[in-house]
Structure 1
Amino acid sequence: MAPSLTDLLGRRITYLRLSVTERCDFRCHYCIAEDQAFAPKSRVLSIEELGQVADAFLDLGVTDIRLTGGEPLTRKGLPALLEHLGQRRAAGRLKALTLTTNGGMLEGFVPLLAAAGVGRVNVSLDTVDDGLFSRITRRGDLSAVLSGISAARAAGLGIKLNCVVQKGVNDSPHHIDRLMEFAAARGHDLTFIEVMPIGPAAFDFHRHYRPMDDLKAELARRWTLLPDAHRTPGPSRYWRCVETGGRIGFIAATSACFCAGCNRVRVASDGMLYPCLGQDHAVDLRGPLRSAEPDALKGAIARAIGLKPDGHRFHGGATPGRAMNATGG
C-alpha cells in the first residue's frame, strides 16, 4: 500500500500548502500590517530546504501541493523550486501543483509556471474597481493583475479567482455582481471567502465579517444559483449561476466548521508546520530538517499530524496571533 498520513480522527492528509515567503508586495489590510515585521533570513528555509520538505510530504503520501506566501512570486530562487516540483509532477509523484498569488507579478512568471506543470493559479481579486482595489491592497496595481490573469489564460493555465468578502467594503451588489460577470465572461471560477479573525483582521473582524449564507441568500434574490458537483482539494462548495454561466464557490471559513473533512496542513516559510489554520499550535520542522538524522524530518511531520485538532476555535474567541501572510490562506 502507498504510504499515508492519517491523523487521530482518521482524516487522511493529502494536501500541503507550502509557504515560500511571508513577504508580499501588497498590504491588504485583512492579511498583513502596513509595517509588518518579517522573520530574519536565518530562520527562513532555503529553496533547497523547501524542496526537501515537499519531497518528505510526497514520500508520506501527500498528492497535492499549493505554493503560497505572502506573495510566492516575490521569493528569490522560486524558479528552481518550480523546476524541482515540476520534475516530481512529470514523474507522477505529485498529482496537482497549484499556486496562490495576488497577480501583480504573474505575467512575467507564466512561462515558468506552465513549464513546471502548474495546473492552476488562484488569484486573489477582491474587486475589479480600480479605486477600491487600491484602497484594499494599499500598494497593488489592478491593471498588472488583470494583465497577469490574461497571460495565464492565454497560456492555458487554469485560473480561480478568490474574493475575501468584507462587509461595507466590497460586498455591495455593484462590486459583487461586476466581479461575477468578469469571472464568468472569461471562464474563471470565482470563490467568495469569509474574512477570518487572524492577525490584522482580528482587530476589525466584527465590523467587516459577513457570513457566506447571508451573501448566498442575497445573490439568490438576483441570480439563479444551482448546486454544482465540482470539487477541488480545498473546502469550497460550488454553484452555477444560470444567467452568467459562471461557477461560483463559497468558503464559510469562519461560520461553518468543515474541519471533519480537512485533508490539509500548512508549512510556513520558517519551517513551522501548522496542523490547523485557525490555531497557533505548530511544530518546528527546521530543526529536524537541518539535523544530521536522515529520518528526523519525516518523523517530525508524522508526529505533527498526530496533533491535528478536531477543528478551529474561531467561535470560542481564539484568534491566531500570526498574520495571514505567515501561512497563506
Structure 2
Amino acid sequence: MSQAPVTASNASNAANMIDPFGRMVDYLRVSVTDRCDFRCTYCMSENMTFLPKKDLLTLEELDRLCTIFIGKGVRRLRLTGGEPLVRKNIMQFINSLGRHLESGKLEELTITTNGSQLHRFSKDLFSAGMRRINVSLDTLDADKFKAITRWGDVNRVMQGIDAAQESGLKVKINAVALKGFNDDELPKMIEWAHGRDMDMTIIETMPMGEIDEDRTDQYLPLSKVRSNLSNQYTLEDIPFKTGGPARYVSIKETGGKLGFITPLTHNFCESCNRVRLTCTGTLYLCLGQDDAADLREPLRASEGNELTSNAIDEAIGRKPKGHDFIIDRNTKRPAVSRHMSVTGG
C-alpha cells in the first residue's frame, strides 16, 4: 500500500514552535550530508571518518521531516553539509521542497555551499525556487585557498560564483576570520564582494570538533576586525536581517553590506530562532550544546506524523538559552566534540 504524500497542511496542526524563553523557532537548518569535498583546517581533520551511508536518512525521509517542521511554523529552511551539493540526487530533494515555496507555506529556501559544485547546479537551484545562496570563501589567494581547504581549487569556486550570478541567484560570501591567515586580506575581499554586488559576512571560528590545528592560534575576535576596518571605512549599523544571527553594517565607501557573526565576543543567543537537523535525523537545539533529540526513531516508527511532531515539541520545550563557547590557552579541547560538518553550521 502506497503512503499518502506528506503536505505541510497535514504534517501538524500546531501553529508555531515557542521555546521556554518565548522565542519563536521558524528557521530550520538541515545538514543533508556530513561529507565534503574540502577539508578546511578549522572545520575538519584531514583524515575524517564519515558516517556510514546506512545511518543517513533517505532523501524522502528528510523531505518528510522538513515538511513536518514547515507545518509547525518553519518559514525559512537552509540546506547545509558538509557540502550539500555532493549528496547523490540532491536536486530531487530540493525540487520536492520547492512545492512549499509555491504553496506559500515556506518563505525561503536557501543553501550554504563551498561553491565547488555551483557550476553544475546553479540553474537548477534557481529553477527550484532558490533566490539567494551563501558561499563559504576564506581567501581569494589560490595558494592560501589550497592550504586552508587542503583539497580545494579557488578557480572552480569562482566559476561557480559566476554561474550562480548568471542564473539569477543572489550570492553572499561567508568568510571565517583566521588570525595570521586572512586578517590582512579581509578589506580586499570586502571590496571584491561588494564590487560584484555580493554582501559579505565575517564569522568567528568556533570551538567544535577535534582538528589538527590549535584554535588559540586561529582565533581572531571580530571586535578587533571591526575596529581595524573602522580605520579604513565608514561603518554604519543597520537593522538589516536575513533570518540568521549576523549583525550588519553598511560600508559607505563600497556601498555594500557587511555582517558579523560573533559566537564568542558577542553571542547572538537572545534572538535565536533556529534549530539544526542532521542527516541522521538528530535535532540539535543549539549549535554550541550537545543536547539533542532523535527524530529518526519516531519518524520510522509510524506512517503518521504524530510521534515525530510530539518529539519535536518535547525538544523545543527544552531548547537552552544559549551556548557557552570559549577559546583560550587553558581550554584547548572543543566546546562540543562533534565537527561543524555534522551539525551543519
Q: CA deviation at 1:228?
A: 2.3
> C-alpha separation between the residues in 1 aligned to 2:46 and 2:213?
14
* Higher mean displacement: 97-106 or 196-205: 196-205
Aligned match of 2:17: 5
> C-alpha separation between the residues in 2 aligned to 1:45 and 1:60?
20
> C-alpha separation between the residues in 1 aligned to 2:242 and 2:212?
28
- Shift of the 20–88 alpha-carbon distance from structure 1 to 2, 3 Å rule, reads same
4+ residue runs of structure 1 moved beyond 3 angstroms?
A: 200-203, 315-318
Instruction: Say whether the 8 Å CA contact 2:263–2:325 is kept in structure 1.
Output: no
* 1:31-79 CA distance string (max 9 Å, x none): 1111111111221010000100100100101100000000000001211
> C-alpha separation between the residues in 2 aligned to 1:293 and 1:147?
43
Q: How does 1:50-129 map to 2 (within 5 A)?
A: 50-129=62-141
Q: CA deviation at 1:119?
A: 1.8
Instruction: Say whether the 8 Å CA contact 1:202–1:319 is kept in structure 2.
Output: no
> C-alpha separation between the residues in 1 aligned to 2:237 and 2:324?
29
Aligned with 1:153 (options 137, 160, 165): 165
Instruction: Say whether the 8 Å CA contact 1:196–1:202 is kept in structure 2.
Output: no
The reply on whether 1:305 has 2:316 as its aligned counterpart is yes
AA in 2 matched with 1:7: D
Instruction: Say whether the 8 Å CA contact 2:171–2:199 is kept in structure 1.
Output: yes
Aligned match of 1:192: 202
Aligned match of 2:4: none
Instruction: Say whether the 8 Å CA contact 2:19–2:318 is kept in structure 1.
Output: yes
> C-alpha separation between the residues in 2 aligned to 1:61 and 1:253?
26
Aligned with 1:314 (options 325, 330, 335): 325
Q: How does 1:157-176 map to 2 (within 5 A)?
A: 157-172=169-184, 175-176=185-186
The reply on whether 1:285 has 2:295 as its aligned counterpart is yes
Instruction: Say whether the 8 Å CA contact 1:276–1:308 is kept in structure 2.
Output: yes
TM-score (norm 2): 0.92
- Shift of the 202–216 alpha-carbon distance from structure 1 to 2, 3 Å rule, reads farther
Q: CA deviation at 1:111?
A: 1.4
Aligned match of 1:324: 340
Aligned with 1:205 (options 193, 215, 218): 215
AA in 2 matched with 1:312: H
> C-alpha separation between the residues in 1 aligned to 2:321 and 2:18?
13
The secondary structure found in structure 2 opposite 1:314 is coil
- Structure 1, unaligned stretches of length 5 or more? none
- Structure 2, unaligned stretches of length 5 or more? 1-12
> C-alpha separation between the residues in 2 aligned to 1:131 and 1:264?
36
Aligned with 1:48 (options 51, 56, 60): 60
TM-score (norm 1): 0.96
Aligned match of 1:231: 241
> C-alpha separation between the residues in 2 aligned to 1:229 and 1:107?
33
Instruction: Say whether the 8 Å CA contact 1:195–1:201 is kept in structure 2.
Output: no
Aligned match of 2:8: none
Q: How does 1:208-287 map to 2 (within 5 A)?
A: 208-287=218-297
> C-alpha separation between the residues in 1 aligned to 2:341 and 2:83?
8
> C-alpha separation between the residues in 1 aligned to 2:45 and 2:145?
17
Instruction: Say whether the 8 Å CA contact 1:184–1:245 is kept in structure 2.
Output: yes
> C-alpha separation between the residues in 1 aligned to 2:336 and 2:71?
30
Instruction: Say whether the 8 Å CA contact 1:224–1:243 is kept in structure 2.
Output: yes
Instruction: Say whether the 8 Å CA contact 2:45–2:211 is kept in structure 1.
Output: no
The secondary structure found in structure 1 opposite 2:207 is coil
CA RMSD between the two structures: 1.5
> C-alpha separation between the residues in 2 aligned to 1:139 and 1:222?
34
> C-alpha separation between the residues in 2 aligned to 1:202 and 1:259?
28
AA in 2 matched with 1:71: E
> C-alpha separation between the residues in 1 aligned to 2:207 and 2:243?
23
- Shift of the 260–140 alpha-carbon distance from structure 1 to 2, 3 Å rule, reads same
AA in 2 matched with 1:296: L
Percent pairwise identity: 45
> C-alpha separation between the residues in 2 aligned to 1:269 and 1:106?
21
The secondary structure found in structure 1 opposite 2:326 is helix
> C-alpha separation between the residues in 1 aligned to 2:322 and 2:160?
36
